[in-house]
Structure 1
């Protein structure tokens, strides 16, 4: 059974491991090894990772005390992170996290949600009512990554 709870700094290492593994395993069909290396190198930005617990809502999905997914919400309307463990894909975990975040956004009087999502995640978000605003080319360490700006009207 999936348990959702608020994330804390104590979850950071496990979240980062899940982040890295998801990028390298789940996204390998959509991004080259070099692209995945550059994308995953953002884990080295310690200040950014520590700040998510101060500046964002962090929800953790657990099964038997193991973190199997997480989502973060910035400014009550921007999904910054949504990652699910590679061994727990397509089990409804991301959907549960997203539904909970949508409820939190609505409770905070938000009428839209936004995110910048990977090629890999795009179809998931579209299936949950998000629209693609535009395709984006992001340059990190001289490597081009494609992602998508998406939005969803909540009411």
Structure 2
């Protein structure tokens, strides 16, 4: 699998992966109305392009196509972490997360935070994120519960002795 920065040419594939992952994976944890509202902006090309330009946005390529994507804002907000239904439980999310955490360290950030879905909460907890609060954001008129989760970043400095 290859991780690389996303380009404008990736936008149709990113949008499709977003749509199908919410439809096929997140539907186990959310109602049909919530799924419909959540996936609603999947074809918003201008919105995706703005995210690509403003964020550290990565895609994971597998031999059979796009396996996942993830993004980090300069302030440490992990905006996206999606893996296709065909690539679940193959380490794709872990690799994307590691790359984002390395970027956060390079930026000198002390924490990374995200709004994790019910589906993603266990993954983030396994990787050291803690729930700060439960949330009820409204998207397209529908409440879609999630969790603000935070991961403190620790850095080892070369002058520290153990």
TM-score normalized by the length of structure 2: 0.91
Shift of 1:42: 2.4
Distance 2:14 2:45 in 1: 13
Give the 5 Å matches for 1:1-155. 2-64=1-63, 66-155=65-154
Structure 2 unaligned runs (5+)? Answer: 155-162
For the residues of structure 1 that align with 2:116 and 2:46, how far apart are their CA atoms?
A: 22
Residue 44 of structure 1, CA deviation = 4.3
| Equivalent residues of 2:11, 2:45 under 8 A apart | no
Q: CA shift at 1:50, angstroms?
A: 1.3
Paired with 2:14 and 2:105, the residues of 1 have a C-alpha distance of: 26
Separation in 2, partners of 1:140, 1:18? 19
Q: CA–CA distance in 1 between the matches of 2:64 and 2:75? A: 27
Q: Deviations over 1:33-77 (max 9, x none)?
A: 110000001224443211011100111111116110000111151
**Are the aligned partners of 1:62 and 1:68 in contact in 2 as well (CA < 8 Å)?**
yes
User: What is the TM-score with the length of structure 1 in the denominator?
Assistant: 0.95
Please state how far the C-alpha of 1:142 moved relative to its aligned partner: 2.4
4+ residue runs over 6 A deviation? none
User: Which structure's residues are more often strand, by fraction?
Assistant: 1
What count of residue pairs does the alignment treat as equivalent? 154
* Aligned-pair CA distance for 1:141: 2.6
